Copies of this chain bind each other. A is one copy, B any other.
Amino acid sequence: MIVGLGPGPAEWMTPEASASVASATDVVGYGPYVERLALRTDQRLHASDNRVEMDRACLALKLATEGRAVAVVSGGDPGVFAMAAAVFEAIETDPQWLKIDVAVAPGVTAMQAAAARLGAPLGHDFCAISLSDNLKPWAIVERRLRAACDGDFVIALYNPASKARPVRITQAFDLLRNVKAPATPVAFARAVGRADETLTLTTLGEADTSRIDMATLVIIGSSETRFIPRDGARHPLFTDLSSQGSQIDGLECDRCDGLRIRSGQCE
């Protein structure tokens, strides 16, 4: 079982994930994720460094062929920039492993937790891009950032910075600033759901990228994303679609079975 633990707190971990960990004989995962779990003394723990996804995947598959009930755990959703792709990549290398009964338990991923705290920035079309160029050339990251701007997607950036590549986030923001409006809302959501959670609301023009670390999820708005100003409290951030309809007359309206919208209202 490849299991998503969610962003951190137990209230965001699905019952399926909890049950999967409880029924495992062996738990394989990155140290800090595994440490969150209250494992029993009869469960074997295989904690490892963050950068050895393929080694972890192969260990898990080897244990499974030995008849162990293995839970490979990831923070967030294992299917989103996490262990599930690595496990299937490993499976492809050895026909023997294709016989293993593998299932994935999805989880709440970082961008969803960040969005929930901020308001509803991902409420309409969005994309998720990892800035890590461990495995992909930086040119592909740049191509995707450009395409995300062309499509006016809301953008969620995963793995925005690390000690090994501190300049990538600056390069990404330079690219975005050349295309998108300086007033575009930007949010840094750090360690959401954990004790040291911090939310930073800013704009593309004013964002201080030196505040971003590997525990930060960065959200960059589309042209329809905006803050709702509020006295004495954090400004909610949301993406609004109805403003688009209002710019276009004579639009077909599904709600009214063939009637037409004018200025965003059904006639």
Q: Which residues of A contact B (CB under 8 A)?
A: 6, 10-16, 19, 51, 77-82, 84-89, 91-92, 98, 102-109, 112-113, 115-117, 119-130, 132-138, 140, 143-144, 146-148, 150-153, 162, 164-165, 228, 230, 236, 238-242, 244-245, 248, 251-255, 257-258
Does A79 contact B123, Cβ atoms closer than 8 Å? Answer: yes
Give the interface centre of A77, A162, A248 by most chain B CB atoms within 10 Å.
A77
Q: Is the CB of A120 within 8 A of B244?
A: no
> Which 3 pairs, one residue from A and one from B, show the smallest C-beta to C-beta distance?
A85-B123, A147-B151, A127-B127
> Are B120 and A125 interface neighbours, CB within 8 A?
no
Q: Which residue of B lies closest to A228 (CB)?
A: B92
Selected from B14, B89, B92, B127, the residue in CB contact (under 8 A) with A126 is: B127
10 A–B contacts from the bound complex (CB under 8 Å): A84-B116, A85-B241, A102-B236, A108-B108, A135-B241, A140-B152, A143-B152, A150-B150, A164-B258, A165-B252
CA separation between A150 and B115, bound complex, in Å?
A: 26
Q: Chain B residues with Cβ under 8 A from A119's Cβ?
A: 84, 88, 104
Report whether B135 and A144 are in contact in the complex, using a CB–CB cutoff of 8 Å.
Answer: no
B98 touches A255 (CB 8 A): no
Residues of B within 8 A of A6 (CB): 14
Would you call B113 and A106 a contact (CB within 8 A)? yes
Tell me the smallest distance from the CB of A152 to a CB of chain B, in Å. 7
Q: How many angstroms from the CA of A112 to the CA of B89 in the assembled complex?
A: 19
Q: How far does the Cβ of A131 sit from chain B's closest Cβ, in whole Å?
A: 10
CB-defined contacts of A132 to chain B, threshold 8 Å:
254
Q: Out of B89, B239, B255, which one reaches A238, CB within 8 Å?
A: B89
A43 to chain B, nearest CB (A): 20
A249–B60 Cα distance when bound, in Å, is: 30
Q: What separation, in Å, do the CA atoms of A15 and B14 have in the docked complex?
A: 7
